[in-house]
Structure 1
Amino acid sequence: MIDLSTLIFTPKEMNAVDAASAASGIPSFDLMERAGQAVAAAALRRYPQAQRFVVLCGPGNNGGDGYVAARALSETGAVVAVFEMTDATALKGDARRAALACPLQASPLNAYNPEADDVIIDALFGAGLSRLLSDDIQQLAPMINDTGLPVIAVDLPSGICGLRGKVLGNALQATHTITFMALKPGHLLMPGRTFCGEIEVFDIGIPHRILTAHVGNIRKNHPSLWASYLPSLVGETHKYKRGHLAVFSGGASHTGAARLAATAGLKCGAGLVTVAASQEAVAVNAGALTAVMVRQVENRDDLMEWLGTAKISACVLGPGFGVGERARDFIFALTEKPLVLDADGITSFTDEPNRLFDAFAGGETRLVLTPHEGEFARLFPDIAADENLGKAEKARAAAKRSHAVIVYKGADSVIASPDGRAHINANAPPWLATAGSGDVLAGMIGALLAQGVPAFEAAAAGVYLHGEAAVKAGQGMTAEDLAEHAKLSLI
């Protein structure tokens, strides 16, 4: 069963839902009425002492929701002022009907002058906006933002692309956003997320069967999507059943990143963790590790010998490893193992990415790539440069091309699978942006792979648990603190 709270609809998918709802016999104006009433109720609940509600109405259905909200607010005795982009007689469909049913005399949008105690309802443009705002709206948005007045956005703050989360010129800064039935990508992707304030999702009566029939493959990352794949400890569990994770270290002066990944892997449930290092780095690592083992591996031949004797379940390569031919040699030796490739491992294929992609093309997905924005652009330059794609679409395109699970890192990390699934993560606190946090994430994902979790679910769970670990570690944490909190517990 689909967890409805995780559903994310693109604007195109939401249009299909609206059309299917109308075709099922639900009048579209009834949905607009419920949406506008929900906005009014939220405004009264949030700001019961408001001196004046100002409703800014656009030329489409978002504006129609605004006219309904204005009428509902006025019926409660609140003081309401309506400012519109288009005269009601020039509107069409449900928006026209809503405007004509609103008893308040509207003024032109450019006549609005903010007053000190205004509460603004932004019903100009919703999630379907995909073009730059007109000049007058672009001038209005910063003027309103500068006042610091509370803004309730209807569906999505005007100026934010519902698909990509991008700012289309300027955007209104909302304190609250009221959306309907489900989230849109623009609510979670950056920078759109920062303009939404607190988001509330209202059920306006579209049957869930219609939602599930038209939803695509994008979800809000949440344990309900992958918790059933996580390992559980039982009485007969022993260390080898919990998997053996190999983490590859850089040289003697670049060992810290591997130790962070290894520590996180051990904390996240791997039964055994071994750091593989060159002779010069073995002593450094051994002196700093206790429960994590150390193995000398100088070259590909050493690695192949080790792989032939050790029960290695999954590997992490890249953190502090070094860029170049040695990295590529090791990676090509690991093509049959679940592998998390991060940092230097990714950069080692900047000039020949297809060599990497082809090496992991067959069989089940077993490669997890964890690029930040710069690394993503180096590995997928054409996808990264496509302004028509949002982060979720870019991650999905990259996953399909690379035959790998992509963790496109950032404040709005997107996890994508070659089969088209994508999860947008939203639980990471801002203090997670600290040196070494990516190394910890690589170790956590590696630990889940070592315990038999499929690649996509391991990556999605790792990203979410990484955010939870940062919350528990608290502000001011270091990567070492983060690694200590890297656990499978969701409590």
Structure 2
Amino acid sequence: MLTGSEMGVVDENAAALGVPRKQLMESSGHAVARAVRSLAAPGDRVTIVAGRGNNGGDALVAARFLDDYDLRVLLLGRPDAISTTIARENWDALERAEYPTETVGDATAFALDAPDVVVDAMLGTGIAGDLREPEATAAAAMNGMAAAVLSVDVPSGLDAETGRLADNAVAPDHVVTFHDTKPGLPALDVPVTVADIGIPDAAELFVERGDLTRLERDPASHKGDNGEVLVVGGGPYTGAPALSAQAALRGGADLVRVACPAVVAREIQSYSENLILRPFDGDHLAPPHVDRLADLASDHDTLVVGPGLGDADATLEAVAELLSRFEGTAVVDADALSVVPDIETDAELVCTPHQGELRGMGGETDADWRARADLVESFASEVGQTLLVKGPYDVVSDGERTRVSRTGNPGMTVGGTGDVLAGVTGALACVQAPLDAAAIAAYTVGTVGDRVVEDRGYGLVATDLLEEIPSVLWQRD
């Protein structure tokens, strides 16, 4: 089952893999036409009620394959208000071929002339709440007649995110949906046809540009609404926590603080005036610091722990205690990874090991990415956390879902790129589910690395990645 927003991601990923939306619409229209033919006899009166989006576009395609019927096509609204290019092209194709098309300017002009089958293609998976006009009047007319009602993808008025059905929604007799079923459809107690429209399985497996459509930013948001990240790191190393913190800022977090040993705080601060430091006594993390850090972490959306901490016994003991007391989402990187298999925690962890670190945690790996994906999924299920295992193909799994990111290049074996990845993951985990945050971060940082290498060649350093992060996350082709 896929929600409407997930289906949008898959559609866009399919386009990135070479199966464009126009081709998917053509396949969807074929599926709608087949469903109509299963409900109507040749010569029957078939009325299509199409909205101005891609849901309506699917039905407009179907009209071209219904020449054996007494066809009528109603568009709710003006043709120049059709919201997508491909839907508009299909409307234009019907008009040029002189199909019986009509437009409905407002609810008072809507009328159905006793069809045998009516196709509900008014609203698709992106709409929530009660129907407005003219869709409300059209739905009432459909519900009040004896005709068989066929809904396209979901009935108009069904929220494909939650499965909630509006009080004035269309009550279909049959639904034809695409690729996978949607929330709310099983509860309708009507036949639902799930049509294969040619979306490859890879569109759900590989992380592609469609995953970036999950990201949005409320124009009315205030400081802190887009995430606050606490990076716990430093001591033996100073660059690692600075890289993670700067990457978290570039990844969209509003506020990023670095908790680090006091002896290195000034040095870490010197990397950027954008960093907020929260130093603690001593030259390395140790158990006496945990009470303060636990209180501090509780005020943040995401904790990033590990960059530059080192592997001193006292440090790892403190990491284990901090994670066992934390209840939010934590990104665990570098030496801190070694404590994960043995701790009990209510936190949701995103662990970011390379393959050597994965083996150190008790996991297995393989040179073949497909075999490695299976091994990572199995180990993620065993530890009960999300894993982002770095490699030529990054594998992300929570034990149930597994994603693979193919971006990145050999130039990114340089030190510090993993710290950047941890920071971006931390920022995204403020506003995304752990698996999605990790998948988008892997794709983003790899894409950034590819751009840097294309521009400058090998010899990149981790700081080269920072400024490019927003252009990958937020620019839309």
Q: Please report the TM-score for the alignment, with normalisation by the length of structure 1.
A: 0.51
- Displacement of 1:303 in angstroms is 4.0
Whether the 8 Å contact between 2:328 and 2:348 is mirrored in structure 1 is yes
Structure 2 equivalent of residue 73 of structure 1: none
Tell me the residue number matched to 2:449: 470
Corresponding residue of 1:370: 352
Residue 398 (structure 1) shift: 1.4
Letter in structure 2 aligned against 1:305: R
Unaligned runs of 5+ in 1: 9-206
* Matched pairs, number: 278
**Cα deviation digits, residues 363-417 of structure 1 (max 9, x gap):** xx72111111111111124x34799970110110111111111111111111112
Alpha carbons of structure 1 residues 210 and 7: separation in structure 2 relative to 1, 3 Å? farther
User: Could you say if the C-alpha distance between residues 314 and 441 of structure 1 is closer, same or farther in structure 2, counting changes exceeding 3 Å?
Assistant: same
Percent of aligned pairs with the same amino acid: 25
1:176 corresponding residue in structure 2: none
Q: Is the 8 A contact 1:411 1:428 kept in 2?
A: yes
Tell me by how many angstroms 1:210 deviates. 8.2
The correspondence for 2:394, drawn from 413, 417, 420, is 413
1:221 aligns with 2:207: yes
Is 1:342 aligned to 2:333, yes or no?
yes
Displacement of 1:435 in angstroms is 1.5
SS at match of 1:397: helix
List aligned pairs for 1:40-439, cutoff 5 A: 209=196, 219-224=205-210, 226-235=211-220, 237-251=221-235, 253-298=236-281, 299-308=286-295, 311-323=299-311, 324-334=313-323, 335-347=326-338, 349=339, 354-356=341-343, 359-360=344-345, 362=346, 366-381=348-363, 383-384=364-365, 390-418=371-399, 420-439=400-419
Q: 1:329 to 1:211 in 2, by over 3 A?
A: farther
**Structure 1 residues 371 and 386: CA distance shift in structure 2, 3 A:** same
Hey, what's the Cα distance between the residues in 2 that align with 1:399 and 1:333?
A: 21
Q: Distance in 2 between matches of 1:471 and 1:385?
A: 24
Amino acid at match of 1:417: D
Deviation at residue 320 of structure 1 after TM alignment:
1.6
Query: SS of the counterpart of 1:390?
Result: helix
The question of whether the paired residues in 1 share the 8 Å contact of 2:229 and 2:303 is answered with yes
**Cα distance in 2, alignment partners of residues 396 and 484 from structure 1:** 32
Determine if contact 1:218/1:424 at 8 Å carries over to the other structure: no
Instruction: Give the match for residue 43 of structure 2.
Output: none
CA gap of 1:462–1:297, structure 2 versus 1, over 3 A, is same
How has the CA–CA distance of structure 1 residues 304 and 230 changed in structure 2, closer, same or farther, with 3 Å as cutoff?
A: farther
> In 1, Cα distance between the equivalents of 2:272 and 2:384?
34
Correspondence for 1:5: 14
- Check 1:389–1:219 CA distance in 2 against 1; reply closer, same or farther (3 A cut): closer
Measured in 2, the distance between the counterparts of 1:388 and 1:413 equals 9
**CA spacing shift, 1:304–1:241, aligned 2, 3 Å:** farther
* TM-score normalised to structure 2 length: 0.53
Q: Deviations over 1:10-50 (max 9, x none)?
A: xxxxxxxxxxxxxxxxxxxxxxxxxxxxxxxxxxxxxxxxx
Structure 1 runs of 4+ with >6 Å offset = 385-389
Distance 2:419 2:366 in 1: 26
* C-alpha contact 1:6 1:220 (8 A) present in aligned 2: no
User: Residues 328 and 345 of structure 1 are in contact (CA less than 8 Å); yes or no, is this contact kept in structure 2?
Assistant: no
Residue 153 (structure 2) aligns with = none
2: CA distance between counterparts of 1:437 and 1:220? Answer: 21
Native 8 Å contact 1:297 1:303 kept in 2: no
Amino acid at match of 1:316: V
Structure 1's 388 and 303: CA in aligned 2 closer, same or farther, altered over 3 A?
A: closer
> Which whole-Å CA distance do the structure 1 matches of 2:368 and 2:258 have between them?
41
Give the partner amino acid of 2:355. Answer: E
Matches within 5 A, 1:27-42: none
Q: Aligned equivalents of 1:259 and 1:231: distance in 2?
A: 26
What's the CA shift for 1:244?
Answer: 1.3
Query: 3-state SS of the aligned residue for 1:259?
Result: helix
Q: What is the SS of the residue equivalent to 2:415? A: coil
